[in-house]
Structure 1
Amino acid sequence: MYRKAELASSPPSEFELPFGGRLSSDNRWVKMAELIPWSEFEAEYAQNFPTEKGAPAKSFRMALGALIIKEKLGISDRETVEQIRENPYLQYFIGQSSYSNELAFDPSLLVHFRQRISPNLINKVNERMVEKMRSITPIKPEKKKASDGKNESPNRGKLIVDATCAPADISYPTDLGLLNGARVHTEKILDILYKQIKEKTHKKPRTYRNLARKDYLAVAKQRRSTRNKRRQAIKKQLQYIKRNLAHIEQLIDLGATLEGLNKKQYKTLLVLTEVARQQQWLFDNDKQSIEDRIVSLSQPHIRPIVRGKAGKSVEFGAKLSASCFEGYVFLDRMSWDNFNESGDLKAQVEAYYRFTGYYPESVHADRIYRTISNRAWCKERGIRLSGPPLGRPPAKVSKSKKKQALEDERIRNAIEGKFGQGKRRFGLNRVMAKLDNTSGTVIAISFLVINLATWWRRLFCVFLCLFGKRTPVFGLKIIPTYKWGDSIQKKLIFNSV
């Protein structure tokens, strides 16, 4: 069951501390707690608990706040719970009304939080949060030429789109290593099933596990093995797996039941069968790729994503399509299968229109987005798509066009910086979640935390400008309209970034 939290919006001055005093209203966790719309999406989160029976579930603010703290600090689940217990500001951030030296919840609950809060819900929270950020720290629009009067709402702003990959926490997959792991799992399942009918038959199926292990190491330990040796080793591992799968069917015919396997083992057995089928087809046809190829036994949803980047031509994880404007980044699409990101351009521009009420003046993207259909679609709406026009390049390029091309690339670098920030600081370089739905939640939370870090950095720039008397900070020209001690709801105006 779920009960609505009544103290989720209490001010920091009402937070009870055992040693006296009160929380500072200028603390970063207090400021971020004011930005996140906790109560607006609490009803949607409560749909995960349709029954009125059982113990009350943790509040939406506690669930989402704990996930934000984990990704913001880059720590483990256990460390997140310990940090919350030690820090009163973190306890206020997750919605507690007073300081407590007890654990707010068990670390294992973070897994359930990631399962209950979907990426779509986090994206909604992110959009609503950015709306608040833009109302508090609006960016001053650039001066444009006077409109001819025909277009009542001229295009404004710059939209940047790009795609990246969030690698999962798996070892680099090889056919031989994958088959060796599958063989080991089949041997474990055989041992479990044999125990069920051990009294009925005294003969245990032979698996040749020691010999199979030696055959695998004979090739795996070589620094550079030849192609023929690898194929022979793969053939042997396939034969071992095929024999083990046949023994499993025989044990089932003799009376063993799959009910003796737990849920994880039963799922693994299904994955092993598919891996054996795929690898046998690849071996018979001498191919290197197959549709929906499994590269991890523990995470079968992961697919190889061919990116063509320097040093990493292939990555293994979720492919992300994102957009960025005014320094805030949004997750538009996430898929475990590879896709052409150019097909997302129209939806991203329409999302920008729904969010701001007008189309962007220009869209900055790399070459893959500059298709004929995308160019025509943008031209109909008065949107300039960055990049050179189609056709043969002219013999001479004017200085203005060269300057425009350099400016477009400079603007497009912003989203590359956001991807780098997410991968270096907020865990997008290696997603540690193991399930497909929880991995999606972790990725969506990372984008939300990036926007929180962006807003807090801008607020810190205001502090430097007001007290250090510095006007240009990090490329921002700030016009303060209030003193630092005033309410945060008063506006600060930024020139274009």
Structure 2
Amino acid sequence: MPPKKPGLSEPELFRMLLTNMIDLRHPLVKLAGEIDWARFDTAWGKFYHEKKGRPGLPTRLMAGLHFLKHMEGLSDEEVCARWVENPYWQYFCGEEYFRHRLVLDRSSMSRWRGRIGPEALELLIAETLRVAMASGALNPQACERITVDTTVQTKAVAHPTDAHLLLRAMEHLNRLAKKHGLKLRQSFLRLGRETRREVARLIHGKGHKQAMRHLRKLRTWLGRLERDVGRKTEGNADLTEACARTLELAEKVRTQKPKDQNKVYALHAPEVECIAKGKARTRFEFGVKTSIAVTNDRAKGGQFILGMQALPGNPYDGHTLTGQIAQVERITGIAVSRAYADLGYRGHGHKGETEVYISRTRGITSPTIKRELRRRNAIEPIIGHTKMDGLLERNHLKGAAGDAINAILVAAGHNMRLLLAWLAALLCALLNPWLNPDPLPAR
């Protein structure tokens, strides 16, 4: 059923009103008053059935928790724990009275994200941009000129090595057999763990040939496990279907070669891709390519993120430009007149009305375009903030849909941090003349 719309309840004698506990001039309180929470109820009401099921959790509560989660770069467990302790966070999420217990289960956040989906969650970015324009932190004309770049949204996976993946495949098969009550001839877990340690000890030294022999043993044991599970499930259609995906991944891990394409780098996240970045400290990153678009001009409140999307399949940067411009125009409702990109976007083939300028392009005579092209590098620190302050560096959400959802929420969290700083600066500018009046002139 749709979430219950919040309304003023009857005053209670033994519960403390949040408005009596907090400073109503706090930037987070001001920001809560600027956001149009009813907009979310209207847009996301279609995801609930009118009569079936129990009433959903308040939309303001769920949207507010995700805003706070990505503002502070916290996990679901951490944001729920801090929500109980922080009266400002409870007020931001629409509570009237201070609550001593959490009103939801942590898993409700995961189910809510999956229900809404990445496309509908773009409304969170659109609302942060609307608030920025209304408060003066962002000029609407700044959305017409954007800077575009790509980065890697890394997944929360261990560094993939052959020995590690082979052992994980053996563990997954044993876990699957235990779940369905299959009695295996031999688990190979003790031997596999010992052999994995030997491979790690020998692979980078003089014992490389011996390490390769241990790897061949791991592959042999994994093949035995696969055949044993296949024999035990043969003739049972339900068991065969339940074990098919795990057996397929295990077989792929066992047979894949170093130069193969579409390799498996994590059993629990097979969508992870290996992306070469050319960095001296990190040659390869494991996750999904992500495109980001920010304002080219530095607004009063900082550079806001206008769009962000995950790009599975590791496409060429130039082929993603049209889709990124379309997302920015869909979120902001403003046509993009100029887009600035680095050399990786050469040969983009964009056929829209947007003018695209690439770094180091010669023959540009306009001083305005030259200045804005020099501003292209300013997107790099924004990417750094999304990884250090946000949750773009290690994504824990499941599957390709989790990658897309996390990218949207990271962008919304970055804009919320800028808005909070902007409102704090405005409040400080308003209060300073009153708190520190100019002294009387000396006679």
TM range (shorter): 0.7 to 0.9
More displaced, 164-173 or 249-258? 249-258
Q: Select the residue among 385, 410, 434 that pairs with 1:446.
A: 410
Read off the aligned partner of 1:290 and give its amino acid letter. Answer: Q
Deviations 1:192-232 (A, max 9, x none): 55x56x7xxxxx62444444443332212236146644543
Aligned length: 422
1:347 deviates by 3.7
User: Given the alignment of the two structures, is residue 456 of structure 1 paired with residue 420 of structure 2, yes or no?
Assistant: yes
Q: Select the residue among 184, 195, 210 that pairs with 1:215.
A: 195
1:53 deviates by 3.2
Would the alpha carbon gap of residues 237 and 31 (structure 1) be closer, same or farther in structure 2, given more than 3 Å must change? Answer: same
Equivalents in 2 of 1:87, 1:288: separation in Å?
Answer: 51
SS at match of 2:283: strand
1:169 deviates by 1.1
Give 1 or 2: higher helix fraction. Answer: 2
For residues 249-288 of structure 1, the aligned pairs below 5 Å read 249-253=230-234, 258=239, 266=242, 270-282=245-257, 287-288=258-259
More displaced, 412-421 or 22-31? 22-31
Would the alpha carbon gap of residues 114 and 166 (structure 1) be closer, same or farther in structure 2, given more than 3 Å must change? Answer: same
Whether the aligned pair in 1 keeps the contact of 2:137 and 2:419 (CA below 8 Å) is no
SS at match of 2:290: strand
Read off the aligned partner of 1:233 and give its amino acid letter. Answer: H
User: Given the alignment of the two structures, is residue 346 of structure 1 paired with residue 322 of structure 2, yes or no?
Assistant: yes
For residues 98-497 of structure 1, the aligned pairs below 5 Å read 98-137=97-136, 139=138, 157-191=144-178, 195=181, 205-222=185-202, 224-225=204-205, 228-253=209-234, 258=239, 266=242, 270-282=245-257, 287-291=258-262, 293-325=263-295, 326=299, 327-352=303-328, 355=332, 357-360=334-337, 362-371=338-347, 373-374=349-350, 377=351, 381=353, 383=355, 385-389=357-361, 407-408=371-372, 410-465=374-429
1:173 deviates by 0.5
Read off the aligned partner of 2:252 and give its amino acid letter. Answer: R
Whether the aligned pair in 1 keeps the contact of 2:321 and 2:348 (CA below 8 Å) is no
1:33 deviates by 1.9
Whether the aligned pair in 2 keeps the contact of 1:168 and 1:316 (CA below 8 Å) is yes
Equivalents in 1 of 2:175, 2:329: separation in Å?
Answer: 55
SS at match of 2:267: coil
User: Given the alignment of the two structures, is residue 54 of structure 1 paired with residue 53 of structure 2, yes or no?
Assistant: yes
Whether the aligned pair in 2 keeps the contact of 1:322 and 1:332 (CA below 8 Å) is yes
Deviations 1:48-97 (A, max 9, x none): 33252332110111111112222223333333223222222222221223
Would the alpha carbon gap of residues 353 and 103 (structure 1) be closer, same or farther in structure 2, given more than 3 Å must change? Answer: closer
In the alignment, what sits opposite 2:440?
none
Whether the aligned pair in 2 keeps the contact of 1:35 and 1:129 (CA below 8 Å) is no
Q: Gaps (5+ residues) in structure 1? A: 11-15, 143-154, 199-203, 470-482, 485-497
Equivalents in 1 of 2:178, 2:427: separation in Å?
Answer: 66
4+ aligned runs moved over 6 Å, structure 1: 254-257, 400-404
Equivalents in 1 of 2:5, 2:321: separation in Å?
Answer: 40
Would the alpha carbon gap of residues 157 and 205 (structure 1) be closer, same or farther in structure 2, given more than 3 Å must change? Answer: closer
More displaced, 237-246 or 326-335? 326-335
Would the alpha carbon gap of residues 239 and 31 (structure 1) be closer, same or farther in structure 2, given more than 3 Å must change? Answer: same
SS at match of 1:63: helix
Query: How large is the Cα RMSD of the aligned pairs?
Result: 3.6
Whether the aligned pair in 2 keeps the contact of 1:78 and 1:107 (CA below 8 Å) is yes
Equivalents in 2 of 1:19, 1:443: separation in Å?
Answer: 33
Equivalents in 1 of 2:50, 2:209: separation in Å?
Answer: 60
Deviations 1:296-323 (A, max 9, x none): 1112222222222331221111221111
1:438 deviates by 3.5
Equivalents in 1 of 2:89, 2:118: separation in Å?
Answer: 23
Give the % identical residues. Answer: 21
Would the alpha carbon gap of residues 164 and 35 (structure 1) be closer, same or farther in structure 2, given more than 3 Å must change? Answer: farther
1:371 deviates by 2.2
Read off the aligned partner of 1:296 and give its amino acid letter. Answer: A
Would the alpha carbon gap of residues 78 and 403 (structure 1) be closer, same or farther in structure 2, given more than 3 Å must change? Answer: closer
Would the alpha carbon gap of residues 448 and 256 (structure 1) be closer, same or farther in structure 2, given more than 3 Å must change? Answer: closer
Q: Gaps (5+ residues) in structure 2? A: 10-14, 436-443
1:235 deviates by 2.5
Whether the aligned pair in 2 keeps the contact of 1:324 and 1:330 (CA below 8 Å) is yes
Whether the aligned pair in 1 keeps the contact of 2:151 and 2:290 (CA below 8 Å) is yes
Deviations 1:272-329 (A, max 9, x none): 42342354142xxxx42322x2111112222222222331221111221111114210
TM-score, normalising length: structure 1: 0.74
Equivalents in 2 of 1:82, 1:367: separation in Å?
Answer: 45
TM-score, normalising length: structure 2: 0.82
SS at match of 1:309: coil
